[in-house]
Structure 1
Amino acid sequence: MYAPSPEQEEASTRVLQPLWEHVKAGQEEILLSPYLPASFAFLTHVLFCAPFLALDTLSIFCVRVRSWRIPAGSQRPPPVSRWFGCFWTVLFRYLTVVLPVTAIFQTLRSPTLPLLAPSCWQLFVEVYACLLFFDTLFFIWHVSLHWFPWLYRNIHQPHHQHHVPFALAAQDASSAELLSLLLLALSSAWLVGCHPLSEVLFHLLNSWMAVEDHCGYNLPWALHRVLPCLGGAPFHQAHHRLHRDTSSDTVSP
C-alpha cells in the first residue's frame, strides 16, 4: 500500500499549499528567472498607478474626488502627457540599469523553489519582518541621501523635481536610486529567509505603499488612516514641498 511521505503529509495540512502548487505548476523557469524581480517591480508599480490615473481623470469632473487632493481642491492633477513622459523615463532606467544589475544579483543569490508552502503564521511573520527590515534600511539610506550633498545631487535630486508628486512619480528617480531601492528590498527578503510566496506579498505591499505615498490624495480608505503610524500621502507630499529640487545646499531629512 502506498504511504505518503512526511513532506506530502505536511503539505496536505497547509492552507496555502494549493495556491503554491498552482503558482509553481509549469512556471519554474519564470519564477527562477533572474529578470523576474525588476520586471515584476516595474509592472506592479504601473498597475498600482492605474487607479490613481483614473482618479486624476475623474477629478476634472467630480468635486468629491477633487476634494481628496492634497491640499483639498487647490491643486490640479498632472496632465496625461506628464504621466506618459514619466512612464517612458522610468522604463528606460529599468531597461538600461535596474534590469541587468538585479539579474546579476539574482544569479548570485541562486533562489530555489521549496516543496512546501508557508503556513499562514509563517507568511505573516516573514512579510512583517521584511517590511520592518526594509523600512529600517530605507530610513537610513533616505536620511543619508538628504544629509550628504554629493549623494543628494547625484542620486536623490531627480526624485525631488516633483514639487507635487503623483502616483507614477514614486519610481521617477535616478537609475542609481531605483536600483538601490530594489536591491534593498531583495536583500531584506534574502536576509529574512523568505518563502517565495512571502516575498511576493512583501514586494506587493511595499510597492503599493510607495505608490500611495506619492499619489497626491488623502483618501478615506488610505493605509495611513487605518494605521496612524504610517505617514501616508499627506506627510510625503509635505516632504516633497519642503525639499525642492535644489543642489546648492545640504538638505535635511
Structure 2
Amino acid sequence: MMDTPSMDHGVACAPVLQGLWEHVRNGQEEILLSPYLPALCAFLTHVLFCAPFFVLDALGSVCQQVRSWRIAAGSGSPPSILRWFYCFWRVLFKYLTIVLPATALLQTLRSPSLPALAPSCWQLFVEVCACFLLFDMLFFIWHFSMHRVPWLYRNIHQLHHQHQTPFALASQDASSAELLSLLLLALSSAWVVGCHPLSEVLFHLLNSWMAVEDHCGYNLPWALHRLLPFLGGAPFHQAHHSLYNRNYAPYFTHWDHLFGTYYG
C-alpha cells in the first residue's frame, strides 16, 4: 500500500518522460546495458556536436562575419580541414585502443539496471544539476593537480596543451590517460549521485556539448555563457590554454574564484 502512491506520483509528474522511457526500454535492454555503450556514445556525440563548428571553421576563411565571432587575443585564423582530420583520427585511435575497453570493464563492474519508472521532471533536473556540480568539482581538483604536479603534466596533460588556440574537436585531443580519466569522472559523478538512466544520459549529452563549446574558439552571440553568467564558456577556457595557470574549472567559475585562479 505504501509503494503505490510513490509509483503513481512518479508517473503522474512526468507522463511524457514515462512514455519516452517505456519506448526506449521496450526491446532495447541489451543495447542499453551494453558495456560498450558509454564510450561509443561519448565519441559519436562528441563528433556530432563538433560538426556545426567544423562548418563555422570552414566558412571562416571566406566569411568576415564568422571571423568576427572568433575570440580575440591572437586567436588567428580558423583551423584547417587537414588539422581537423588529423585530430579526428588521433581521438578515434585512443577511444578504440584504451577508452572503449577500459570503460567496458567499468560498466561490467557497475552492473547497471533499468528501472520500470521514469524520473519526475524535478528529479531529472536535480540529478543533472548535482552531476554537473560534482563533476565540476572533481574536474577542478584533477585539472589543478595535473598542472601543479610536473610528472602528471608531462605524462598526462601536456598533450592537450599542444592547442594553445583550441578548436571544437580538440576538446578530446588529449592523452589516452586523460581521456579515460575524464570519462571515468563523468561516469563516477552519475554513479555517486545515483542518477536514473535518463538523467545520466542527459548529463552526458550536456557535458559533451559544453566541453565542445568551451574549446570551440568562438564567442558566439547565443553561447551558453551569455545566457548563464555563472558559466565561463569559451573565452574562460581559451584563457586557460593561453595562460596555463588560470581558469582550471571546466564550466562554472566559483572554484577558480575561491582559489584565486580566476582570470576574467
Report if TM-score (shorter chain) is over 0.5.
Answer: yes
> How do residues 154-233 of structure 1 correspond to structure 2 at under 5 angstroms?
154-233=155-234
2:134 pairs with 1:153: no
**Kept after mapping to 2: 8 A contact 1:167/1:212:** yes
Matched AA of 1:24:
R
* 1:218-251: CA deviation from partner (whole Å, max 9, x where unpaired): 000111111122111111111111239xxxxxxx
Instruction: Give the alignment's TM-score, normalised by structure 2.
Output: 0.88
**Kept after mapping to 1: 8 A contact 2:165/2:217:** yes
Instruction: Give the alignment's TM-score, normalised by structure 1.
Output: 0.91
Please list every run of 5 or more consecutive structure 2 residues that lacks an aligned counterpart in the other structure: 246-260
Q: Which residue of 1 aligns with 2:235?
A: 234
Please list every run of 5 or more consecutive structure 1 residues that lacks an aligned counterpart in the other structure: 245-252
Matched AA of 1:226:
L
**Kept after mapping to 1: 8 A contact 2:10/2:120:** no
> How do residues 28-67 of structure 1 correspond to structure 2 at under 5 angstroms?
28-67=29-68
Distance between the aligned counterparts of 2:133 and 2:234, measured in 1?
19
Counting matched residue pairs gives 242
Q: Which moved more, 1:57-66 or 1:170-179?
A: 57-66
Q: Which residue of 1 aligns with 2:257?
A: none
**Kept after mapping to 1: 8 A contact 2:10/2:119:** no
Choose between structure 1 and 2 for higher RCO, CA contacts under 8 A separated by at least 6 residues.
1
Distance between the aligned counterparts of 1:206 and 1:74, measured in 2?
24
C-alpha RMSD of matched pairs (Å): 1.9
Q: Which moved more, 1:230-239 or 1:161-170?
A: 230-239
Distance between the aligned counterparts of 2:203 and 2:60, measured in 1?
31
Q: Which residue of 2 aligns with 1:247?
A: none
Distance between the aligned counterparts of 1:200 and 1:21, measured in 2?
15
Distance between the aligned counterparts of 2:9 and 2:244, measured in 1?
53
> How do residues 64-143 of structure 1 correspond to structure 2 at under 5 angstroms?
64-71=65-72, 75-143=76-144
* 1:157-200: CA deviation from partner (whole Å, max 9, x where unpaired): 00000011000000000000000000000000001000000000
Query: 4+ runs of 1 displaced by more than 3 Å?
Result: 5-12
Distance between the aligned counterparts of 1:89 and 1:54, measured in 2?
20
Alpha-carbon distance, 1:72 to partner: 7.8
Matched AA of 1:86:
C
Distance between the aligned counterparts of 1:233 and 1:34, measured in 2?
32
